[in-house]
Amino acid sequence: MSNSKGIPYYFNAATKQSSWDAPSELSDDQIKSLPGSQYLSGGSSGGAGTITASHLLVKHKDSRRPSSWKEANITRSKEEATDILRGYQAQVGNSREKFEELASIHSDCSSHSQKGNLGPFSKGQMQKPFEDAAFGLQVGEFSDIISTDSGVHIILRTA
């Protein structure tokens, strides 16, 4: 069980690798026989009510923490951040690949190193506007611009 997310994950003792997704070489019956399988309630994505999403975050001076991995002191206005994100949105179109590329380069979130991937989460783990938008999307669908205390985001629901 993940201490930070409160959801189960898979750990390969031989390779010392962990993953949110079940190993593809295991059958459903083999997965059910694993230690801790009682915590799995809905398949390999972490259980019922759990989704996976990626985002591209642009912070502004009124963000709850107006700094990031690429900028120590963010001074742009919320309107400027929204304009920047609209530019990224236009570049992305409906391309997951372009979204991941832009998130890697431009997102003010530490998830930039995972192409914006936040991993699986369930209700109550994210700020409410982000949660509502992410849970309202279909898999593969992009949100419009969403504003939270962290900044402005484009969200891609991935599972």
Higher pLDDT pick, 32 / 43: 32
**11: pLDDT strictly greater than 90:** no
**38: pLDDT strictly greater than 70:** no
How many other CB atoms are found less than 10 A from the CB of residue 67?
Answer: 12
- Name the average pLDDT for the chain: 86
pLDDT (average), residues 118-135: 92
Determine which one of 106, 109, 111, 112 is catalytic.
109
**46: pLDDT strictly greater than 70:** no
Confidence bin at 148 (pLDDT 50/70/90): very high
How many other CB atoms are found less than 10 A from the CB of residue 138?
Answer: 6
| Residue 48 backbone dihedrals phi, psi, to 5 degrees | -60, 140
**6: pLDDT strictly greater than 70:** no
Q: What is the pLDDT of residues 54-110, one digit of tens each?
A: 999 999 999 999 999 999 999 999 999 999 999 999 999 999 999 999 999 999 999
Instruction: Give yes or no: 153 in active site.
Output: yes
Determine which one of 55, 60, 106, 112 is catalytic.
55
Determine which one of 45, 114, 122, 127 is catalytic.
127
Is the whole model's pTM more than 0.75, yes or no?
Answer: no
**How confident is the model at residue 49, as a pLDDT?**
79
Q: How far is CA 35 from CA 9, 13, 71, in A?
A: 11, 12, 43
Read out DSSP for 3-21?
TTT-S--EEETTTTEEESS
**How confident is the model at residue 146, as a pLDDT?**
96
Instruction: Give yes or no: 150 in active site.
Output: yes
Please measure the distance between the N-terminal and C-terminal CA atoms of the chain and give it in whole angstroms: 20
Instruction: Give yes or no: 109 in active site.
Output: yes
Length of the chain: 159
**How confident is the model at residue 39, as a pLDDT?**
59
Q: Six-digit token pair at 147?
A: 């504003």
d(CA 94, CA 3): 34
